[in-house]
A and B are shown apart, each in its own frame.
Chain A
């Protein structure tokens, strides 16, 4: 009896070696975060969460009392964690470049095609529609939106979707350039954009978040919580009268919530959820979900570039199609990738501010797309 109590954990591992496999996976995530510096802010808490969540008989998942059950219930099932992070993200984003170049807003819309294209691919592979939509939303290239939608439509797939969403965001500098070079010509990439930035008043900047809430909320009402919290954070920033709150949202709020979100998402990657014999050796395995994330990001980038090319020709070759790739969201990484690719073919071609316009439009578009998916499948 005493030995059972002392060695219970070891016995549990022997009886269900899948837990051990999951702990190894947690170790790999820790390795990637710490040694390879891949999204360490998220992979570190997720990796440790996986290890903690798979220790047999620890009681961390016990209904009503286990710490991870509580965190999951309070933060994920209620959607509070992703929404709190959105306040911080909103406070970090400067929508000025979008307001100065309003036409870039369309590139953000086009680059959401990957969400829906991946949804169709997932359907073909045998996922039910709700799960296919949750997988497709990895293409929003936005962690909190992916988690928000997945928690509502396919809670069992939350962990692989969250890991895929954040991992591919870190891999944007590797995923996007080959697609950019494949889908655009040298002449297109060399296009210098000379359109002047439209001066924007402070009043317009302050009113912008409220206008976005009203438009997105009325067209896709289910996106109201996400867009509302995102734009609330932005209002803290642009109002100029609550700098202390804006700084807290950008730092303390985001940091604390990221810690709790990461470790809670990691804890949901239990052997029972992740290595389910009904799915692990089939087309619906978590490994495939992870791969589908790559499909989503590639389709997003391709669609953004395609729309960029349309604008290139409509504008009389004045718009560089590369900025379309920044419409995928993944703020601010994809805008930086566009700038780098532009400079690669012409060292004096600076596309950053145009790309940031498309990038911030992508942030808004991805939230609207998330709300649209929820509305269409749950409304």
Chain B
């Protein structure tokens, strides 16, 4: 019983950390794209 619950816990851990890393990697990519499309120089106008 405990091992079954622990197995589910391990699954939540793997899937949860996976979701966090995927989300933040996507955010990194999005920040790069934002910086590329809207470079800082536009504010000088």
Q: Which residues of A contact B (CB under 8 A)?
A: 98-99, 102-103, 105-106, 108-109, 112-113, 115-117, 119-120, 123-124, 126, 128-129, 132-133, 198-204, 207-208, 211-212, 215-216, 219-220, 361, 364-365, 368-369, 372-373, 375-377
For A361, the chain B residues whose CB sits under 8 A away are 24, 27
Nearest chain A residue, comparing its CB with the CB of B33: A211
A300 CB to nearest chain B CB (Å): 12
Q: Please, how many angstroms separate the alpha-carbon atoms of A369 and B13 in the complex?
A: 10
A362 CB to nearest chain B CB (Å): 10
Contact B31 A215 (CB under 8 A): no
From known contacts A102-B32, A200-B40, A211-B34, infer whether A120 and B13 are also in contact, taking CB-CB under 8 Å. Answer: yes
Q: Please, how many angstroms separate the alpha-carbon atoms of A220 and B26 in the complex?
A: 12
From known contacts A200-B35, A208-B34, A365-B24, infer whether A132 and B9 are also in contact, taking CB-CB under 8 Å. Answer: yes
Residue interface mask B1-41, A partner, CB < 8 A = 1: 01001101111110111011111111110111011001111
From known contacts A99-B31, A201-B42, infer whether A116 and B24 are also in contact, taking CB-CB under 8 Å. Answer: no
Q: Is the interface of B mostly helix, strand, loop or mixed?
A: helix
From known contacts A112-B17, A124-B6, A364-B24, infer whether A119 and B32 are also in contact, taking CB-CB under 8 Å. Answer: no
Nearest chain A residue, comparing its CB with the CB of B36: A204
Contact B5 A123 (CB under 8 A): yes
From known contacts A201-B39, A204-B34, infer whether A105 and B24 are also in contact, taking CB-CB under 8 Å. Answer: yes
Contact A105 B27 (CB under 8 A): yes
For B6, the chain A residues whose CB sits under 8 A away are 120, 123-124
28 A-B interface contacts by CB (under 8 A):
A99-B31, A106-B21, A106-B24, A109-B23, A109-B25, A112-B16, A112-B17, A112-B20, A116-B13, A117-B13, A120-B6, A120-B10, A123-B2, A123-B5, A129-B8, A129-B9, A133-B12, A201-B41, A207-B34, A211-B30, A216-B23, A219-B26, A361-B24, A364-B23, A364-B24, A368-B24, A372-B15, A372-B16
For A220, the chain B residues whose CB sits under 8 A away are 19, 23
B43 CB to nearest chain A CB (Å): 5
For A109, the chain B residues whose CB sits under 8 A away are 17, 20-21, 23-25
Q: Please, how many angstroms separate the alpha-carbon atoms of A373 and B19 in the complex?
A: 10
Contact B15 A120 (CB under 8 A): no
Contact A201 B43 (CB under 8 A): yes
Nearest chain B residue, comparing its CB with the CB of A116: B13
Q: Out of A98, A123, A200, A219, which one reaches B9, CB within 8 Å?
A: A123
Nearest chain B residue, comparing its CB with the CB of A366: B20
Contact B12 A376 (CB under 8 A): yes
Contact A102 B28 (CB under 8 A): yes
From known contacts A120-B6, A200-B40, A207-B38, infer whether A129 and B23 are also in contact, taking CB-CB under 8 Å. Answer: no
For A372, the chain B residues whose CB sits under 8 A away are 15-16, 19-20
